[in-house]
Amino acid sequence: MAKELVLYFSVYGTAKTVAEEIAKQTGAKLLEIIPAEPYDGDRNHYNSLLRRAQKEHDTDARPVIKEELPIADYDRIYIGYPMWCYTFPMIIYTLFEQYDFSGKTIIPFNTHMGSRDGGTYQTIKELAPEAKVLSGLPVEMSDAENSPAAAVENWLKSLN
């Protein structure tokens, strides 16, 4: 049986909520991608977060991941993130540039406010060409906050 990991990046907790639900329903290990320079998780400072995300995007930044991630130990990796500036946060680029996903199965998921996956699932296929990338799960932010259980359950059934 494949060893599974739910790996996620989340600032406001919505991607974390979906990640926790996936881990709960699959029995996979749950692990957070923690940036070396933390982001402000206070929603009252949203404009500050938006400015930082936009600057990182515009400068093609690669935020540093604080701790080594045990990617090599897992066969199937669910990778989750919020949508920022209509794509994934730049730390996800760091992830794919820093780790080898060859021979692994990647199952993306994301939270959004209307942009669905914004083409990021295709980008993951391009960043990890030697990996098998399955159909992703885009979850609207309010659905993620209220209860993503049914959406996750239906999605997981569709993968099998």
List, for residues 103-136, the tens digit of each pLDDT value. Answer: 999 999 999 999 999 999 999 999 999 999 999 9
Q: What is the DSSP string of 3-67?
A: -EEEEE--SSSHHHHHHHHHHHHH--EEEE--BSS-----GGGHHHHHHHHHHHHHTT--PPBSS
Question: What range does the domain containing 11 cover?
Answer: 4-159
- The pLDDT tens digits for 55-87 are 999 999 999 999 999 999 999 999 999 999 899
Residue 160's pLDDT is 79
Domain count, the chain: 1
Please report which confidence band the pLDDT of residue 2 belongs to, taking 50, 70 and 90 as the band edges.
confident
* pLDDT surpasses 80 at 1: no
CATH code of 153's domain: 3.40.50.360
pTM (global) more than 0.85: yes
